[in-house]
Structure 1
Amino acid sequence: MDTVSRLIQMARLQASLDKRCLLAGTTVMDVSEYAEGEVPFHVLLDGTCTLELPGRRLELRPGDVVLLPRAEPHRIRTAGAGRAQRAVETPGETFDTIRSPAGEEMIDLFCGHYSYGSGAGTMLFRSLPDPIHVSFAESGEATEVVRMLSTIMRREAQNDGPGTAAILSYLCGALLAMVLRKSNRRPADTALWTAADDERIRGVIDVLLREPGADWSIAHLAQIAGMSRATFVRHFSHRTGMTVGAFLTHIRMMIAADLLTDTDLTVAAVAANVGYHSESAFGRAFRLASGSPPARFRRSAAA
């Protein structure tokens, strides 16, 4: 199984579409903070708008997707003619529709959230930049796929009939996979380690996910990447945003969380599976990563 698919599987993700926003003129829409275990996202199909976060503004254009792993409250603003107006929300069977009180529609924006049901999901989103802003507007195969997804999403949104919720959930899940493997390749972008665009670094990430319990050294990983030790360390940090040691620990803790949730292995066996010879050392590392000792984490997951 490839890296992105494995990560989504471990995180036990579910996608939900909450609102479709058809906004016109100068409209302001406030989005409240989401609950723990939820990551909001926005998909802009038509028009342009601004997403305002504390201390930061993102200009969105058609084909843009934004994920907010910290789930902070934020604001969507359209810049049209006239005074700023508040949007009006109409409840629907599957999702709500938000429209500006007056004016010709300027943007078509889908808003939803991903829910993750495991400690692995928590660790995954903690390791990603916030916000994640990906553009599929450039030409290429990905753009065609997003265009097809957008067409189906619009069609289902208009029908809002039997099966609509399930269909939109699967489409939003597919969209997340595309975001996690997408690299904008702009110097100003924060590294998305799931989308490392260097095949040699991707090969190292893949082998760490497959064999987290091996006795890895930087020299061995550099050999797998076909680089000198110094070059590998520099490239790895640049492509992933983490040191090699921090990344290896992160991967091990994600897989440990998955094993604690999904198997009956003892804590000692889980520790051994992810490369720890000492159960106490594993417990300290896991508590630091998840905020909970392994045994308590397992009881919470079961409950």
Structure 2
Amino acid sequence: MPAESLVLPQEITETAVPEEAALGLDGESQSHDLLSALLRSVRLSGDRIVAYAPPRIFSIGFAGVGSLHFVEEGGLALRIGGHPRVEHVSRGDVVLLPRGDRHYVSDTGGGTRAATGADSAESDAPGPARWLCGTFTIGDPQASHLLGSLPAVIILRAGGSPALEGLEVARRMLLIEMESPSQGSAVMVARILDLIFIQILRAWAAGSDAEPNWLAGAFDPQIGAALSAIHRSPDHDWTVEELARACNLSRSAFAARFLARVGKPPATYLAHVRLDAATNLLRDTSLSVALVAKNVGYTSEAAFSRAFKNRYGTPPAHWRRDLRTH
């Protein structure tokens, strides 16, 4: 059933993320900004904001875009893809689906019970649902393991995170741009959505229940140093011993801590970072496959091509050709 919505605007200017900033991301004294690396590698940017106020019985599908839901009134049921689990969210909750997984937002069932003849259920049904939905353009969802390894959904419950105070300010700013659009509103909406995306990921990664992941590892005071080294110089022939020294840990303690925080061994993580860097070079430069392989740390073009094909299902030259013909 279609929902009543207010959309601003139809076309949103892409948010630019500078390659180098005053933070000195290329300096040895500064830690590598992995979250900014994510935004660059997948070319993610805020898109648009929609206000939903549907009838009591509804189901709205989303697919192919990163999505953000601010629940303003009532309750919602969230189903992701074909998974049977249903997440229930209510007023004040904030939901982020960073990978763009297909999902459905629907009523919580009160209206359905009433429709089947259970008249007494109507008094127990939640009030009409109302929420804001922001979307994010994901320019290259297949090019980065950073995006793919994030959880399908992150939920910040009302009153459960200090980050919600800042998110409430951002929500009010979005409402102002929706209710009184003016020159620059398109870019304002895009920038605010970007900030919200970052803040939610920060809050999730810093939480005690964050699953093993590169971002959770980046917040670890010891493992973060190893991740910074890998991302800063993916072409270097990193050994576990070198990375352990960077973290002031023994080899065994480092390997165990890295696996616990990041969810994969250092060598596997390094291979993923190298292939991510390779896709950027194949897409954005005219370097030969041999030079791309060398620039991301492979001593053999054949070895690089095998690793690339195992990851993406096609050799690097074909990947580049297919990308440019679409």
Flag whether TM exceeds 0.5 (same fold): yes
What is the distance in 1 between the residues matched to 2:52 and 2:283?
Answer: 37
Tell me how many residue pairs correspond in the alignment: 280
2:247 alignment partner in structure 1: 225
Deviates more, 1:148-157 or 1:229-238: 229-238
What is the distance in 1 between the residues matched to 2:181 and 2:114?
Answer: 30
* Residue 44 of structure 1 pairs with residue 81 of structure 2: no
1:131-146 equivalences in 2 (<5 Å):
131-135=153-157, 137-138=159-160, 140=162, 142-146=163-167
1:289 alignment partner in structure 2: 311
Q: 1:260 aligns with which of 275, 282, 305?
A: 282
* Residue 216 of structure 1 pairs with residue 238 of structure 2: yes
Q: Which amino acid aligns with 1:299?
A: R
What is the distance in 1 between the residues matched to 2:250 and 2:87?
Answer: 38
Give the alignment's Cα RMSD to 1 decimal. Answer: 2.9
* Residue 115 of structure 1 pairs with residue 137 of structure 2: yes
1:58-137 equivalences in 2 (<5 Å):
58-61=87-90, 62-67=92-97, 69=99, 71-78=101-108, 83=113, 106-118=128-140, 121-135=143-157, 137=159
What is the distance in 1 between the residues matched to 2:266 and 2:158?
Answer: 30
Per-residue deviation, residues 176-234 of structure 1 (Å, max 9, x unmatched):
222333325344x4334223331111111111110001111112111211222222222
Change (3 A) 1:109 1:288: farther
| 8 Å contact kept, 1:49–1:59 | yes
Structure having the higher strand fraction is: 1
Change (3 A) 1:76 1:184: farther
1:157 alignment partner in structure 2: 178
1:45, distance to aligned residue in structure 2 (A) = 4.5
What is the distance in 2 between the residues matched to 1:156 and 1:111?
Answer: 14
Q: 1:244 aligns with which of 255, 263, 266?
A: 266
What is the distance in 1 between the residues matched to 2:272 and 2:114?
Answer: 45
Q: 1:5 aligns with which of 11, 36, 41?
A: 36
2:295 alignment partner in structure 1: 273
* Residue 56 of structure 1 pairs with residue 85 of structure 2: yes
Change (3 A) 1:154 1:70: closer
1:47, distance to aligned residue in structure 2 (A) = 4.9
What is the distance in 2 between the residues matched to 1:246 and 1:19?
Answer: 40
| 8 Å contact kept, 1:116–1:122 | no
Q: Which amino acid aligns with 2:193?
A: C
Per-residue deviation, residues 15-69 of structure 1 (Å, max 9, x unmatched):
2225322357x5432314x24xx33332335554331232212232424222152
1:172-191 equivalences in 2 (<5 Å):
172-182=193-203, 183=205, 185-187=207-209, 189-191=210-212
* Residue 203 of structure 1 pairs with residue 225 of structure 2: yes
1:144, distance to aligned residue in structure 2 (A) = 3.2
1:90 alignment partner in structure 2: none
Any idea what SS the aligned residue of 1:257 has? helix
Per-residue deviation, residues 225-245 of structure 1 (Å, max 9, x unmatched):
122222222221221222222
Higher relative contact order (CA 8 A, sep 6+): 1
What is the distance in 2 between the residues matched to 1:21 and 1:240?
Answer: 37
Any idea what SS the aligned residue of 2:286 has? coil
| 8 Å contact kept, 1:27–1:84 | no
2:215 alignment partner in structure 1: 194
**Greater C-alpha radius of gyration:** 2
Q: Which amino acid aligns with 1:176?
A: F
Query: Alignment identity in percent?
Result: 28
Any idea what SS the aligned residue of 1:30 has? strand
| 8 Å contact kept, 1:14–1:169 | yes
Per-residue deviation, residues 131-160 of structure 1 (Å, max 9, x unmatched):
3334574453x3332121111012122234
TM-score by structure 2 length? Answer: 0.74
Where does the alignment leave 5 or more consecutive residues of structure 2 unmatched? 1-24, 26-32, 116-124
Any idea what SS the aligned residue of 2:200 has? helix
Any idea what SS the aligned residue of 1:181 has? helix
What is the distance in 1 between the residues matched to 2:207 and 2:216?
Answer: 10
